[in-house]
Amino acid sequence: MENRKNYQKELEKIIKGLNGEKKKVFLHSCCAPCSSYCMEYLRQFFSVTVFYYNPNIMQKEEYEKRVKEQKRLIEEYNKSKEADTIQFLEGEYSPSCFLSAVKGLETCKEGGARCFSCFRLRLLETAKQAKENGMDYFTTTLTISPLKNAEKINEIGEEIAKETGIAFLPSDFKKNNGYLRSIALSKQYGLYRQNYCGCDFSKPQKESENEG
What is the pLDDT, as a whole number, of residue 85?
95
Strand partners, 71: none
Closest of 113, 120, 114, 72 to residue 200, by C-alpha = 114
Q: What is the pLDDT of residue 129?
A: 98
pLDDT at position 27 is: 98
Q: What is the pLDDT of residue 121?
A: 98
Low-confidence ranges of the chain (pLDDT < 50): 1-2, 208-212
117-141 confidence digits (pLDDT tens): 999 999 999 999 999 999 999 999 9
pLDDT at 205: 60
What distance in Å separates the CA atoms of residue 194 and residue 21, rounded to the nearest whole number? 36
Q: Are 114 and 102 in contact (CB under 8 A)?
A: yes
| pLDDT, the chain, mean | 93
Residue 209 half-sphere exposure toward CB, CA atoms < 13 A: 9
What span, in angstroms and rounded, lies between the C-alpha atoms of 22 and 92? 28
The H or E element spanning position 33 is: helix 32-42
**How many other C-beta atoms can be found within 10 angstroms of the C-beta atom of residue 125?**
19
What pLDDT score was predicted for residue 82? 76
Instruction: State residue 206's pLDDT score.
Output: 53
- The pLDDT value recorded for residue 3 is 60
Can you give the pLDDT at residue 204? 62
| Distant-in-sequence, close-in-space partners of 124: CB < 8 Å, separation ≥ 6 | 160, 163, 164
- State the number of CA atoms in the 13 A half-sphere of 170 facing the CB: 18
**pLDDT at position 211:** 39
